[in-house]
Structure 1
Amino acid sequence: MSSKPQLVFVPGAWHTPEAFSLITPLLKSAGYTVHSRQLPAVGNPNPPQDLSEDIAAVRDLVTEAIGTGNDVVVFPHSWGGIVVGSALVGLGKKEREAQGEKGGVVRTGYICSFLVPKGINPIQSMDADWWTVEGNQILLKPSGQQVLYSDLPIPDQEKWFAKVQTHAFHAQQGNATAECWLDIPTSYLLCEDDQAIPCSAQEAMTEMVRQRGGDIEVERIKSGHSPFLSQPENTVAWVRKVAGEKV
């Protein structure tokens, strides 16, 4: 068993684990084992009809990271927060210890990500003009490039926007099925210049967790929606702090 927690990164809508490719080597060089996986809703020609496949995929990934008793910290980005908040039931370290099992999720670190109550999906009420729906797939319009990567140079925006995938409509619009942030301590990287999830919405979600009695710590960063691309070193420093280091 590693002395450092295992790290699990959950991509947001339209994205694959490649989005974390700038921070992953930095974390590995700092001694961390990093896990991530493309979710069933992303780039799938047979898109899932609800959120259940994505929830199951995250549970499998986290269970794999726990292994024989590792501590784990889970980092969702954007839409991935809806999946993570629903997926970690029974996987928290305190819950597992109560069942006589070793290891488990000791903390989550939401990166400008959705924190939502059970039965809710805020994306359903978003009036976004930077995507379009075709059948059961959501495709990004060209304007999505600026929304997702606003603080990157244009050539880098174009590079990363070329990598986005389709996203299953019914999965993206699926309601949260649990509130794991009530049981597992949460850290939140609030991106003040985010054009996809406005700063005010992030503030409202983190305050909701606080009002509901959740254990949450918020750190603010002057960043757009993808700080792991625009500010990888600062993002890594935050991740390491969330994982328990004094950085």
Structure 2
Amino acid sequence: MSTERPTFVLVPGAWHLPSTWDLLRGELDALGYASRAVKLPTTGPDPRGGLRDDAEVIRAAIETIGGPVVVVAHSYGGIPATEGVAGLPNVQHLVYLAAYVPDVDESLIALHGAPDPESSEGLFPIVSDPRAQLYADVPRAVADLAIGRLVDQRLQPFVDRVTRAAWHTVPSTYILTERDASLPVELQEQMATRAKHIHRIPTSHSPFLSRPAELAALLDRVARG
């Protein structure tokens, strides 16, 4: 492993903009890490494209970084990260944070055991109760801000199937959120077996908002190997 300190590339989940990572980025900065948060094309305010578009943006962001990279993908972000990170030599580690871990020819919908919809056009609706489902343990003011920043999300990338699975060749860690009301813990447990290492954190779906300092310390340990 390189002794050079890696840059963190942060991939948000559905409906979320790069600003969702701001608190965690502040904590990573305090620990001496540079970080970049990716804007996914399939996420609003003007959503377009599908899985391949999201994967290409992640890949392009990594390719601009000269040194080692640790990719942290949250929720849906695990899908395009799995596709986009494959084959990049400077990716030191891939962290799935309450995230989907697809294999080749799997999609987000397939991981839930659901059939493909008749049409993949249009938007996937925001969860009915974001505070309860996404931010249950997040301080109220922080949760209010996060809810106000939620944007549209295209359905297409939830249906698109992965063609490359980076976790087969890139060292990986799964961080399982034990009080998650969005991504079922049972499904997280199943997907986590695909990672090399598993850590657990007693939070809801968004520990980067509820416990950013604790999450940053955990990511520091992961980055140090």
Whether the TM-score (by the shorter chain) exceeds 0.5 is yes
- Change in Cα spacing, 1:46 to 1:108, as seen in structure 2 (3 Å) is closer
Q: Tell me the CA shift for residue 143 of structure 1.
A: 1.5
Q: Point out where structure 1 has 5 or more consecutive residues left out of the alignment.
A: 94-103, 210-214
1:108-142 CA-partner distances (Å, limit 9, x unpaired): 111111111111113357599xxxx9961223144
Q: Does residue 169 of structure 2 align to residue 186 of structure 1?
A: no
Match of 1:243, SS state, is: helix
Contact 2:78–2:96 under 8 Å retained in 1: yes
Whichever residue aligns with residue 200 of structure 2, its letter is R
CA distance in 1: counterparts of 2:36 and 2:111, whole angstroms: 32
Aligned to 2:162: 176
Match of 1:21, SS state, is: helix
1:102-181 matches, within 5 Å, as: 104-124=90-110, 126=112, 136-181=122-167
Whichever residue aligns with residue 31 of structure 1, its letter is G
1:65-101 CA-partner distances (Å, limit 9, x unpaired): 2x2xx1111000000001011111220x3xxxxxxxx
1:10-36 CA-partner distances (Å, limit 9, x unpaired): 011111111111111121122111011
- Return the match for 1:232 from 203, 212, 217: 212
Aligned to 2:61: 61
TM-score by length of 2: 0.90
Aligned to 1:100: none
Contact 1:13–1:172 under 8 Å retained in 2: no
- Return the match for 1:223 from 203, 206, 212: 203
Match of 2:96, SS state, is: strand
Aligned to 2:74: 77
1:153-182 CA-partner distances (Å, limit 9, x unpaired): 444322211111101111232222211101
CA distance in 2: counterparts of 1:135 and 1:108, whole angstroms: 30
Contact 2:142–2:209 under 8 Å retained in 1: no
Contact 1:47–1:136 under 8 Å retained in 2: no
Number of corresponding residues: 220
Q: Does residue 18 of structure 2 align to residue 6 of structure 1?
A: no
TM-score by length of 1: 0.82
**Worse overlay, 179-188 or 142-151:** 142-151
CA distance in 2: counterparts of 1:165 and 1:64, whole angstroms: 27
Q: Does residue 201 of structure 2 align to residue 200 of structure 1?
A: no
Aligned to 1:97: none
- Change in Cα spacing, 1:235 to 1:60, as seen in structure 2 (3 Å) is same
Identity rate of aligned residues, in percent?
28
- Change in Cα spacing, 1:155 to 1:124, as seen in structure 2 (3 Å) is farther
Q: Point out where structure 2 has 5 or more consecutive residues left out of the alignment.
A: none
RMSD: 2.3
Whichever residue aligns with residue 68 of structure 2, its letter is D
Considering only CA atoms, is the larger Rg found in Structure 1 or Structure 2?
A: 1
1:14-53 matches, within 5 Å, as: 14-45=15-46, 47-48=48-49, 50-53=50-53
Match of 1:138, SS state, is: coil
- Change in Cα spacing, 1:236 to 1:149, as seen in structure 2 (3 Å) is same
CA distance in 2: counterparts of 1:60 and 1:141, whole angstroms: 30
CA distance in 2: counterparts of 1:225 and 1:127, whole angstroms: 21
